[in-house]
Amino acid sequence: MLGWKLKQLARLTLWRFEPGIVGVTGSVGKTSAKLAIASVLGADRRVRAAPGNLNNDLGLPIAILGDWDERHANLVSREAPPGQFVKKAIFWCRVLCGGAMRLLFLPKRSYPEVLVLEYGADKPGDIKELLSIARPSVSVLTAIGEVPVHVEFYASPEEVAREKARLIECLPAAGFAVLNYDDETVRAQKSRTRAHVLTYGFEKGAEVELARFEHRILDGKPAGISCKIGRGGSFVPVRLDNVFGRAHAYAAAAAAAVGLAFGMNLVRISEALAGYIPARGRLDLHKGVKDSSLLDDSYNASPLSMQSALETLRDLPAARKVAVLGDMLEIGSFAIPAHEHVGRLAAACANVLVTVGLRGKFIADGAIRAGLARERVMSFDTAEDAAKPVHDLIQKGDLVLVKGSHAMHLEEVVEGIKVV
């Protein structure tokens, strides 16, 4: 009953206020792309981006009904966490009553002109359900990769791609499909839409081009990234402070493509991207204990995002590099080879490897077989077990990467070594 009320109220809200809708989906990079798009479009329009991971059949209506913050994301689960029942009841009352009041009395000029919504697809049929609530006129497919997140709930990776592609299949002919050209699986979905297609990426052939990507180093320490974004031979420089990894360059390029679809020019887009602030736990750089540096990428993990994070660890300067890697969940039968592959990647860029979780032991095995000395590899069952040993092994000048699936709770390791 709650879900039905939320959906009806969200549909009525969209009917009354008629905002433009930008939909974002993919297995990797959804949240970063969403926030970058909001930064770009927000330079000229009233924009609301769905906070946190409000991307399911309860979260999407909430993002439509009100301007909630990320603190409310953990209240959207269908089962109340221990001690959260009263908070959840109050929150749902606020959502429903506040949404109804805004529907009836909020002036149209006070509602966002554009909603940037994230569409999650944990299982088959999820995108179709979300499209019954809100259909975008601009859709972005970020990255899927060979082994997508949640693939264990699908018959194959191809079925995951088909589910994600529903977001561009629904577009009108006058709409825009923004596709990551560098991801072969995403690029292959181009034929599944009748909308205008804008591609972005580093590879030759992308319409919105990325070039000259580099990490900026000031006084020997990482300061951010810079790149050029262009279309039709015209390029503008983009500089993002306190942001690291090519994943954020992809987010900026996706946002640039959406900005172009909305009629913005590249100079204005570049200026707007200076305001992009990524979500927490996506390669955030912090000062660590013992004068170390910490790359916090603990929010979630998939094979593709693990590779991206390890490439960032490889490219940044440090006296010694430490990788703390947890299980990648929900990848089904791909688990063993995917974790072993991550281990091989880690061996090529990390001086010390710490794994967390039962599947993490396959990361350790892969790294040792790839040549990382056994005495430089440590394995633990839980983040709680790993927190103190990780703290103890850190040395001055270390760069420490922490990454794993959300359910591994590697934020406990982060908090143990981060200097507030």
CATH class of 284-417: alpha beta
Please provide the DSSP assignment of 182-228 as one string: T-HHHHGGGGG-SSEEEEEESSTT-SEEEEEEEEEEETTEEEEEEEE
pLDDT by residue for the chain (420 residues), tens only, comes to 778 889 999 999 999 999 999 999 999 999 999 999 999 999 999 999 988 778 889 889 999 998 877 666 666 654 445 567 777 888 888 889 999 999 999 999 999 999 999 999 888 999 999 999 999 999 999 999 887 777 778 888 889 899 999 999 999 999 999 999 999 999 999 999 999 999 999 999 999 999 999 999 988 888 999 999 999 999 999 999 989 999 999 999 999 999 999 999 999 999 999 999 988 889 989 999 999 999 999 999 999 999 999 999 999 999 999 999 999 998 988 999 999 999 999 999 999 999 999 999 999 999 999 999 999 999 999 999 999 999 999 999 999 999 999 999 999 999 999 997
pLDDT of residue 371: 97
If you ran DSSP here, which 8-state letter would residue 81 be given?
P
Number of residues written out for the chain: 420
pLDDT of residue 74: 63
pLDDT of residue 147: 78
Round to whole Å and give the CA distance between 198 and 220. Answer: 38
User: In CATH, what is the architecture of 2-273?
Assistant: 3-Layer(aba) Sandwich (3.40)
Distances (CA, A) of 277 to 21, 283, 301: 21, 12, 20
CATH 3.90.190.20 placement within the chain: 284-417
CATH 3.40.1190.10 placement within the chain: 2-273
Q: Are 101 and 13 in contact (CB under 8 A)?
A: no
pLDDT of residue 367: 98
pLDDT of residue 80: 47
pLDDT of residue 153: 80
